[in-house]
Structure 1
Amino acid sequence: MALRLHTIIASTRPGRVGPAVATWFHEAAREHGAFDAHLVDLADFELPVYDEPHHPRMRKYTHEHTRRWSASVEAADAYVFVTPEYNYGPTPALVNALNYVYGEWNYKPCGFVSYGGVSGGLRAVQMTKQIVTTLKMMPMVEAVMVPMVAQQLKEGVFAANDLQRQSVGELLGELHKWAGALAPLRVG
């Protein structure tokens, strides 16, 4: 059975460009073929600021939005976060979503497709890596970076350059190795 990859759109704000970049990456992941690839939009879960009365480690969820998010996170073997940079850091929606559950993330690899202005979202990625390691995830060194993202959008469609297309294969190759290697730790 193929390992399952969730490409997660990490921005939820109106007018976001994340869906265009994420759709491009998701299609590239499907073509790559190493994973059973799924596109996940954080906006679909409508997660409020963390509102569960119990610590996520207990998995005693009282809200339907948390149970839906938990099931989505649990279903994947690996993740790619498609994320912009907000004020040199990750989106509040991504930080909140990461904090909503705990064990569902454990022993799974993650990668990043970052976008933004001149930095291409790299500062957000570096800060997010600190969070995911606390969730017992393995962040990949390989990544896809999109500086000046607006220049690569044409009528709402993202047009990748050669370096970005090459980076997809490198990222997915490493994610697949790690997802397979960590699988025994996810049993039990």
Structure 2
Amino acid sequence: MSEHRYTLAVIVGSTREGRFAPVVANWFARHAADHPDFEVDVDVIDLDTVRPYELRHGSEEYASFAKRVDQADAFVVITPEYNHSFPAPLKHAIDLLNTEWQAKPVGFISYGGISGGLRAVEQLRLVFAELHAVTVRETVSFALAWNLFDDEGRLRDPAPATTAADTLLKQLTWWAVALREARNVRAYGA
């Protein structure tokens, strides 16, 4: 395994019935896994399956979730914008853990109405900063996302989102490799 290969956890932040998040997450996971310039293993953590409100410290399910987050070198959070913020199950899932997030990069892909979910992203940046994670500057944002994808989950015009996703992946790769090397040299101290 290359020293530049890393594990990217894609966190699907919506659990709402009828959610659009899987369409966006599947597009990005395929793009990241198949990209020729980035050596990445993708782990999709769907909060609808994880069910963070049901996780209890000490349970097997909690340990599994914590291990997946701990083993990730970087994260991409897929978030909608609900009422100018991000979903409560996403906040709960983030708050369940602490050291597992530290000294790792986080990127964002958002979607929503005309704002494209960017207000949710700005709030998530504050949350991850408190957890000593590094958020990358570039994001992928889909305004009125349900109009941008076809019935099979493909982008009607892939160029803008693909370019933004590639920039996001470049930044995440740099930070993932740099921070993993730093953690290997010295334990992170919060």
**TM-score (ref. length: structure 1):** 0.89
Residue pair 1:45, 1:68 contacting (<8 A) in 2 also = no
- Could you tell me how far 1:156 is from its partner in structure 2? 5.1
Aligned-residue offset at 1:157: 1.4
Deviation at 1:79, TM superposition (A): 0.4
* Aligned equivalents of 1:36, 1:107: Cα separation in 2: 19
State the Cα deviation string for residues 84-136 of structure 1 (Å, max 9, x = none): 00111111111111000001111100100100110000000000000001111
TM-score (norm 2): 0.88
Matches within 5 A, 1:107-146: 107-146=103-142
Matches of residues 164-183 of structure 1 in structure 2 within 5 Å? 164-183=161-180
Aligned counterpart, 1:58: none
Aligned counterpart in structure 1 of residue 77 of structure 2, from 74, 81, 84: 81
Equivalent of residue 160 in structure 2, options 159, 163, 169: 163
SS at match of 2:161: helix
Q: Does 1:66 align with 2:85?
A: no
Q: CA separation in 2, counterparts of 1:146 and 1:34?
A: 25
Identity of aligned pairs, percent?
33
Query: What do the CA deviations read for 1:8-60 (whole angstroms, capped 9, x no partner)?
Result: 111011110100100000111012233112222111111117x75xxxxxxxx
What amino acid is aligned across from residue 41 of structure 1 in structure 2? D
Look up the match of 1:18.
Answer: 21
- Say whether the 8 Å CA contact 1:45–1:69 is kept in structure 2: yes
Counterpart CA distance in 2 for 1:3 and 1:125 is 23
Provide the secondary structure at the position in 2 that maps to 1:141: strand
State whether structure 2 residue 147 is matched by structure 1 residue 151: yes
Give the alignment's Cα RMSD to 1 decimal.
1.6
CA contact (8 A) 1:21 1:158 kept: no
Q: In structure 1, what is the equivalent of residue 44 of structure 2?
A: 39
Counterpart for residue 57 of structure 1: none
Say if 2:101 is the partner of 1:105: yes
The gaps in structure 2 that reach 5 residues or longer are: none
Distance 2:183 2:47 in 1: 24
Q: Which runs of 5+ in 1 are unaligned?
A: 53-60
- Which residue number corresponds to residue 29 of structure 1? 32
Measured in 2, the distance between the counterparts of 1:158 and 1:137 equals 31
Greater alpha carbon shift after TM alignment, 124-133 vs 33-42: 33-42
CA distance in 1, matches of 2:41, 2:146: 29
One-letter amino acid of the counterpart of residue 45, structure 1: V
